[in-house]
Chains A and B, each alone.
Chain A
Amino acid sequence: KNEVEQSPQNLTAQEGEFITINCSYSVGISALHWLQQHPGGGIVSLFMLSSGKKKHGRLIATINIQEKHSSLHITASHPRDSAVYICAVNRSQGNLIFGKGTKLSVKP
């Protein structure tokens, strides 16, 4: 079993829909990251959080430490949100353990 599990693996949505991507982890962590990866490989950090909730524009990330679960929400989705969204967790020394990613496609 992977230490970081994401669901769903693939997600297709219509423009304007509310989107949720889930992440569960089984190890002790110091922080959890949500990353966005576009075709071509570039990875951008969206959020880094260790408790509660963070919001940036149309993106919201939440984490429940007791349940070892995090969610990434996208409100009013747009085709430009189409990308792979990756959940990753920090171990104590700093290296990241990644989920396999969720491929999101938003149709106009």
Chain B
Amino acid sequence: QKEVEQDPGPLSVPEGAIVSLNCTYSNSAFQYFMWYRQYSRKGPELLMYTYSSGNKEDGRFTAQVDKSSKYISLFIRDSQPSDSATYLCAMSLIQGAQKLVFGQGTRLTINP
């Protein structure tokens, strides 16, 4: 069993839809949770960063963390074609230094 599970998709939705992306994890030692967006042939771009359980909102993006269920989500409201990318969840634990473990990534396409 992988430490972090993420449905690779692909996921295709119409423009303007609400998108929900999810990850589950097995290691309760994970302390920090991130969502990255990666366009083709580019480096990952940090979208959201959270520490505790609860919600965090930034513009059209909302991140949710439920540590009791070991489940995190990213919601994208009013999705745009420019949101088409691969979305990676990532979680970190501290082993002397910070070790980031990624989910498989979900490939998302927003259709105009």
Is this pair of chains taken from one and the same complex?
no
Q: Interface on B for A, CB 8 Å cutoff? A: none
Residues of A at the B interface (CB closer than 8 Å) are none
